[in-house]
Structure 1
Amino acid sequence: MKISIISNLYPPHVLGGYELGCAEIAERVAQAGHEVEVLTSRVVGRLHRLHEPVGTARIKRIFAALFEYEKQPALHTSPEWHTRYERAQAGTIPANVSALLEQWKAFRPDVVWAFNIVGLGTLGILECLAYAGYPTVIHHMDFLDVPLGAHQAPPGRVARAKARLTAISCSEFTREKNEELGGYGKHLVIPNGIQFPTTTPSSVPPRERDDGIFSFICFGQITQEKGIVELLTAFQHLLSIRPGRKIHLTIQGPCHSPPFLDSLRARILRDGLSDAVTLAGPVPKEELLASLSRYDAAVMLLNTHEAFGYAPLEASAAGLPVIFPRNSGVGSFLPEGDPLLLRERDNARSTAETMARCVDHPAWAADHAQRQREVLVQVCDLEKAVLPAYLDVLRSLTPSPPVRHLEAALLTNARMVEDHQIWQSAAA
């Protein structure tokens, strides 16, 4: 198949797991023999940069996106910037509509697979997906209806476009959030996937260390929304209820807010946690995953609105017992009674007691890690379960009748079309 993939961001420009997940899927599909063309943004401002992708998928950076204005913070206070922001989040960016339709005309895809379209002139791209006449699926690893609703996209237009499309969501929670502004013609739940190691980590007690330290790791983006402050509170409580034990917590990942990072360092120093907590910066993903064998357990409180959460899945694949909230996307795929799933993310006492159970019973924790892993590998192994499910969806897609003169129709209906020239110059 000739597959056109759309993602607002794509490596080396990375905000979080969405872009990395999209890139891995694109490469796996291309390696399976399909012709894959990824359409993404050119300039994306102050985002975490990884290495340039090298692979089989062809990447074309054709879009002007809101993110390029991040490198000019002074613009954020101007009326002109806010006009563009509204357009990027819930309106139509004419230059992006034109670029997308022109690229499709040249490539002539068999199917279109859209990932995150927020920031590209979300409504305009959504209507391109719905009315251009290509078999199309929109893939939600986050929430599309939230920015559309918050920035007052015309609800009738959103609902009509969605009704013509097939959608995939990575969890039931994500599916529900993406039906708030209208239902899709068909909406499936397929979890995100990763490549599980071909060898299963042994079910053995934690590694014997000379220092006798039980070591936890939390990895991913370091943000307030990810519950890092609440985790420090829980860890401090853990130390107070297990005063004789040597316990360490590593928090590893990128932090895009220097003030928040400074506040965490001050908190650790103030509470006397400097010897027990390490704040570590980002490392390449391969290096991070290889390092997980040095830890005894993973704990991550995640965002209260986490669509899925790759980090718990990656920790489980490495053989670690994982403590994380039940209401996260990936948590819904584990049994209801899993003793390491947290019912209340912000309950420091409950989190500390769950961590203490692992510290007190390391052999049990190691055995339970294998039980968690056995469940997740059945539904989240990228090669064996997830990718085949995706390809089945792509093969089942049928086109909706195209709208004649689509570009003219979309630009006529665009909100604030008078800034067409601004966006054209931004895309140049």
Structure 2
Amino acid sequence: MKILVLTNLYPPHYVGGYELRCAAISEALRARGHDVQVLTSNHGLKSGETTAEPWIERTLRIHGYYGHPWLGLPALKKLELHNNETLRNAMAFHKPDVVHVWCMGGLSKSLCLTLQRSGVPAVYDVSDHWILRSLKGDVWLDWWNRRHGSPGSRMLRLLWTLAGVRRRCDPLAPTGPVSDIRFQRLYFTSARLRELTAQQGYDVMHGGVIHCPVDTSQFKGEPVTRAPKNWLWVGRLAEDKGILTALRALLLIRPSFGGELHVYGRGDEAYVTMLKNFASGNSLPVTWHSATPPEMPDVYRAHDALLFTSEWEEPFALTPLEAMACGLPVIGTMTGGSRELFRHGENALTYEAGAATELSERILQLQSEDHLRTYIARNGHTEVHKRFAMNPIVDQVEKYLCDSIPS
């Protein structure tokens, strides 16, 4: 297959797991012999800097995200024209069989309409809330189609329409409403994310589900069956990640808790200070750390159990997958895509998000019940290596792309 990957960011310039997953799967498809070309933004490049990889073109422009400025309408028009011309040129040069669209946060959503008009099959990998949250807020498409706005904005739109600006611009940088975008071929990282997106009025329930993979060549280890002493928490230090619930749970069982909680992550300075003050003020056995992505496999292997306390609708979190791949038993919430991974008492212990008392009971249960701890650690380890390793996930993506190309 000739595949053109369209994405907002691409490593080494990235902000999270979505971009890393895009790179891992794109490079796995290249390794299988597919002709993969990547079209992404110039985010992270210094002025005049070019990319060294001949199969990666970093020439799209980001609007309003990742520190890039929000533009006035004349400058935004230039950006939209540039991005759409860049996409058309890439498609004309590479002649892809399919365009594999990843995260569009900060990119021109008019590109979706340009793809639609091209007739080339497009497959959307939806691993975060960009359709649900940012599609209708696209500044360019919204400006052309909003019914309200300031008198000056309405007057300019009327004048541009009467003067033929919209008619001339639309073939080059589409101005149609978001409702014109059709996601004929797409898959989500979880059924829950698909459901949430559909609840916002998008016709996506026909989409597939392909979960996130974990690199089991790096995240590996034997199932941990010993009584946990070194407990691990990994993630962004923010309210919606539930770290405060973990601390409150430890406070409830402080006399009976026989270990330490090691917290790995960063966050807003004021919030982190509050967390540290709560832990120290209550004499909780908690230490605070950070690690780079390459260091994380060793971090997992140095611990005995993971607390996954997320309290928001995460599409499909990688942290519990990585921990289970390294053999750790996991206690986690059933928010978002996690309900498609965890089965209470079989491959994890679960509790209601935000319920510190129930979490404290699960911690004591995992600490004291040897047979249960061994059972869930082994089941979780086996399941992740079988279902969520890179090869079976790439198999699913490869098949979905192939099936999207007319025979």
TM-score (norm 2): 0.80
Consecutive unaligned residues in structure 2, runs of 5 or more = 46-50, 147-175
- Alpha-carbon distance change, 325 to 294 in structure 1, aligned in 2, over 3 angstroms: same
1:35 & 1:57 partners in 2: Cα distance?
12
Q: Secondary structure at the match of 1:66?
A: coil
Tell me: CA distance 1:381–1:222, structure 2 relative to 1, closer, same or farther (3 Å): same
* Counterparts in 2 of 1:204 and 1:347: CA distance versus 1, 3 Å: closer
Q: How does 1:261-300 map to 2 (within 5 A)?
A: 261-273=272-284, 276-283=285-292, 285-300=293-308
Mapped partners of 2:31, 2:2: distance in 1:
13
Q: Which residue of 2 aligns with 1:390?
A: 397
Answering whether residue 181 of structure 2 is matched by residue 195 of structure 1, we say no
Establish whether residue 3 from structure 1 lines up as the match of residue 10 from structure 2: no
Taking the aligned partners of 2:63 and 2:219, their CA distance within structure 1 comes to 43
Confirm or deny that 1:94 pairs with 2:94. no
Q: Is the 8 A contact 1:141 1:169 kept in 2?
A: yes
The aligned runs of 1:2-401 (5 Å cut-off) are 2-43=2-43, 58-66=55-63, 70=67, 81=70, 93-121=80-108, 123-143=109-129, 144-149=131-136, 153=142, 157-163=177-183, 165-179=184-198, 180-184=200-204, 186-197=206-217, 201-203=221-223, 205-206=225-226, 214-239=229-254, 243-255=255-267, 257-273=268-284, 276-283=285-292, 285-335=293-343, 338=346, 340-362=348-370, 364-383=372-391, 385-398=392-405
Q: Secondary structure at the match of 2:231?
A: strand
Choose 134-143 or 183-192, whichever is displaced more. Answer: 183-192
* Cα offset, 1:397, TM superposition: 1.0
Cα contact 1:174–1:307 (8 A) shared by 2? yes
Q: Percent identity?
A: 24
**Quick one: distance in 2 between partners of 1:331 and 1:169?**
15
Q: Secondary structure at the match of 2:313?
A: coil
Query: In 2, Cα distance between the equivalents of 1:173 and 1:387?
Result: 21
The answer to whether the Cα contact below 8 Å between 1:35 and 1:57 also exists between their aligned partners in 2 is no
In 2, distance between residues paired with 1:336 and 1:298? Answer: 15
* Structure with more contact order per residue of length (Cα contacts < 8 Å, sep ≥ 6): 1
Aligned position for 2:165: none
Residues 36/146 of structure 1: CA separation in 2 closer, same or farther (3 Å cut): same
Where does residue 424 of structure 1 map in the other structure?
Answer: none
* 1:66/1:238 CA distance change after superposition, 3 Å: farther
In the other structure, the counterpart of 2:163 is: none
Shift of 1:186: 4.2
1:336 and 1:249 map into 2 onto residues whose CA distance is 22
Q: Quick check: 2:2–2:34 contact (8 Å CA) kept in 1?
A: yes
1:8-39 deviations in Å (ceiling 9; x for gaps): 12222232211111111111111111122222
Is the partner of 2:67 in helix, strand or coil? helix
Structure 1: distance between partners of 2:403 and 2:117: 18
Contact 1:313/1:330, CA 8 A, preserved across alignment: no
What secondary structure is seen at the aligned counterpart in 2 of 1:263?
helix
TM-aligned CA deviation for residue 316 of structure 1: 0.5
Q: Once the two structures are superposed, what CA deviation does each residue of 1:257-307 show, in whole Å capped at 9, x if it has no partner?
A: 23322332233232223xx11111232x23211221211100111241100
Q: Which amino acid aligns with 2:336?
A: S
Work out whether residues 327 and 343 of structure 1, in 8 Å CA contact, stay in contact via their aligned partners in 2: no
Distance 1:392 1:232, change over 3 A: same
Gaps of 5+ in 1: 46-52, 76-80, 208-212, 400-428
Q: Distance in 1 between matches of 2:273 and 2:63?
A: 28
> Structure 1 CA distance, aligned partners of 2:245 and 2:236?
15
Deviation (angstroms), 1:2? 1.7
What value does the CA root-mean-square deviation take over the aligned residues? 3.2
CA offset at residue 170 of structure 1? 1.0
More displaced 10-residue stretch of structure 1: 10-19 or 194-203 = 194-203
In structure 2, the residue corresponding to 1:260 is in which secondary structure?
Answer: helix
Alpha-carbon distance between aligned partners in 1 of 2:346 and 2:336, rounded to the nearest angstrom: 14
Shift of 1:234: 2.0
**d(CA) in 1 for partners of 2:99, 2:107:** 16
